[in-house]
């Protein structure tokens, strides 16, 4: 028996005069589904999505800096760095370079340039940490534009066959005017 959580939209909040304080709106999330993923092309799919998103943020919790020379992210907690070292089976004194090299090998990124390696490993690491599986889809990006939603929906041969789908989600808006 497989179960999966479904997020329900939250109730609206009104002030004593009936004016909205918090309301809901629908938007789109880009989601990876484990059962449909193509393990041979996942790295290409991630790069394609990153390019498509442009300046829109995507999920990347890797505790390494975003730009070379790669080092441990100063904003990352010691716990998150230790978790990464444990996942990679590296000693506590391992360097950021040791971690980077281990991730390149873990996610088969040897044939990529260093920028692509960092982009892909950030997403793949976050997927793995989130428990991505048959029963746990991975939300790659939240609240994407209608344009991005349309491109992904219309290109099922590129995205759909590689485990990517669009899901409608509820997002909270807070009205500060009242």
pLDDT for residue 169: 82
Report d(CA 45, CA 158) in Å as an integer: 8
pLDDT for residue 178: 45
Question: What are the pLDDT tens digits along the chain (178 aa)?
Answer: 544 555 666 677 777 777 877 777 788 999 999 999 988 999 999 999 999 999 899 999 999 999 889 999 998 899 999 999 999 999 999 999 999 999 999 999 999 999 999 999 999 999 999 999 999 999 999 999 999 999 999 998 889 888 999 998 877 777 765 4
- Cis amide leading into 69 (omega within 30): yes
- Specify the 3-state DSSP secondary structure of 166: strand
Residue-wise pLDDT tens digits, 55-69: 899 999 999 999 889
Residue-wise pLDDT tens digits, 123-155: 999 999 999 999 999 999 999 999 999 999 999
Report d(CA 102, CA 154) in Å as an integer: 36
pLDDT for residue 8: 60
Contact 60, 175 (CB under 8 A): no
* The dihedral formed by the CA atoms of 70, 71, 73 and 79, expressed in degrees to the nearest 10: 130
Contact 111, 139 (CB under 8 A): no
Report d(CA 165, CA 167) in Å as an integer: 7
Helices marked H in the chain: 42-53, 78-87, 96-106, 114-129, 146-154
Contact 21, 15 (CB under 8 A): yes
């Amino acid at each position: 028996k497989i179960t999966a959580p479904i997020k329900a939209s939250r109730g609206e909040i009104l002030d004593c005069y009936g004016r909205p304080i918090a309301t809901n709106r629908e938007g789109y999330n880009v989601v990876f589904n484990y059962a449909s993923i193509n393990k041979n092309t996942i790295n290409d799919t991630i790069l394609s999505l990153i390019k498509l998103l442009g300046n829109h943020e995507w999920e990347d919790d890797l505790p390494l800096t975003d730009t070379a020379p790669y080092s441990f992210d100063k904003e990352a907690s010691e716990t998150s760095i230790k978790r990464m070292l444990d996942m990679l089976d590296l000693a506590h004194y391992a360097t950021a370079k040791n971690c980077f090299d281990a991730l390149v090998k873990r996610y088969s990124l040897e044939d990529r340039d260093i920028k692509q390696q960092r982009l892909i490993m950030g997403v793949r690491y976050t997927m793995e940490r989130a428990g991505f599986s048959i029963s746990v889809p991975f939300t790659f990006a939240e609240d994407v534009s209608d344009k991005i939603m349309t491109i992904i929906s219309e290109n099922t041969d590129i995205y759909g066959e590689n485990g990517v789908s669009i899901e409608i989600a509820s997002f909270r808006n807070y009205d500060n005017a009242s």
